[in-house]
């Protein structure tokens, strides 16, 4: 009984990661006051003159990294590089230089992060 439940939980996890909406995720990634990923990353299909080069290009990232790693990149980028300049999108504590109106709120909600992960996974 317990084993069956565990097996169910294990198979449910990847499905939960895949629940985001890729089109919404792309809009969030481009949005000036939401993701603004394009500030640091080249994104496929965008004007090359308006793309940052601080981070690696995101083209093909969906084949390089699995969904769990993509999500982790967004919520805890410092786990990959302690000195990273990439914002921790899902966190509301332990941040520096946060504007008053934004204090106590994450940059992106859990659902928005699911959408961005779904979009990143399509970049093959
Ligand atoms: C202020 C700059 C900055 C912003 C904004 C930013 N990133 Fe990053 N990102 C980086 C840097 C720099 C790296 C390289 C690893 C590191 O130093 O953290 C990175 C790494 C990544 C990686 C791993 C890429 C790979 O090929 O290994 C992903 C995925 C990623 N970012 C996605 C995003 C998404 C999606 C957004 C927007 C929601 C975003 N980033 C916003 C700077 C940024």
The reply to whether ligand 1 has any atom less than 6 angstroms from the CB of 57 is: no
* Ligand 1 atom nearest 52 alpha carbon: 2
pTM for the full model? Answer: 0.86
Q: How far apart are CA 81 and CA 91, in angstroms?
A: 17
Pairwise CA distance, residues 93 & 104, whole Å: 7
113 lines ligand 1 (CB under 6 A): no
DSSP 31-43: -TTTT-GGGTS--
**For the chain, which residues make up each domain, given as ranges?**
21-122
pLDDT band (50, 70, 90) for residue 15 = very low
pLDDT per residue over 49-72, tens digit each? 889 999 999 999 999 999 999 999
Q: Using one digit for the tens of pLDDT, what is the confidence trace for 68-110?
A: 999 999 999 999 999 999 999 998 887 778 888 888 889 999 9
Give residue 9's pLDDT band: very low, low, confident or very high (50, 70, 90).
very low
For the segment(s) 21-122, the CATH number from 1.10.760.10, 3.40.50.10860, 3.40.190.10, 3.20.20.70 is 1.10.760.10
Centre of ligand 1 to C-alpha 72, Å, is: 11
Asked if residue 59 has its Cβ within 6 Å of ligand 1, the reply is: no
**55 Cβ closer than 6 Å to some ligand 1 atom:** yes
Report how far apart the first and last C-alpha atoms of the chain are (Å, whole number): 39
Going by C-alpha positions, the residue among 27, 67, 22 that lies closest to residue 46 is 27
30's CB contacts (< 8 A; 6+ apart) are 36, 37, 38, 43, 46
Nearest-5° angle of CA 119, CA 18, CA 109? 70
Q: Is the pLDDT of residue 14 over 80?
A: no
């Amino acid at each position: 009984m317990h084993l069956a439940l565990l097996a169910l939980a294990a198979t449910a996890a990847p499905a939960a990661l895949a629940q985001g909406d890729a089109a919404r995720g792309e809009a969030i990634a481009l949005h000036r006051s939401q993701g603004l990923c394009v500030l640091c990353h080249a994104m496929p299909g965008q004007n090359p003159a308006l793309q940052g080069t601080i981070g690696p290009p995101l083209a093909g990232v969906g084949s390089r990294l699995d969904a769990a790693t993509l999500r982790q990149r967004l919520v805890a980028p410092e786990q990959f590089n302690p000195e990273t300049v990439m914002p921790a999108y899902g966190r509301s504590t332990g941040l520096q230089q946060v504007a008053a109106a934004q204090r106590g709120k994450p940059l992106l909600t859990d659902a928005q992060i699911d959408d961005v992960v779904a979009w990143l996974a399509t970049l093959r």
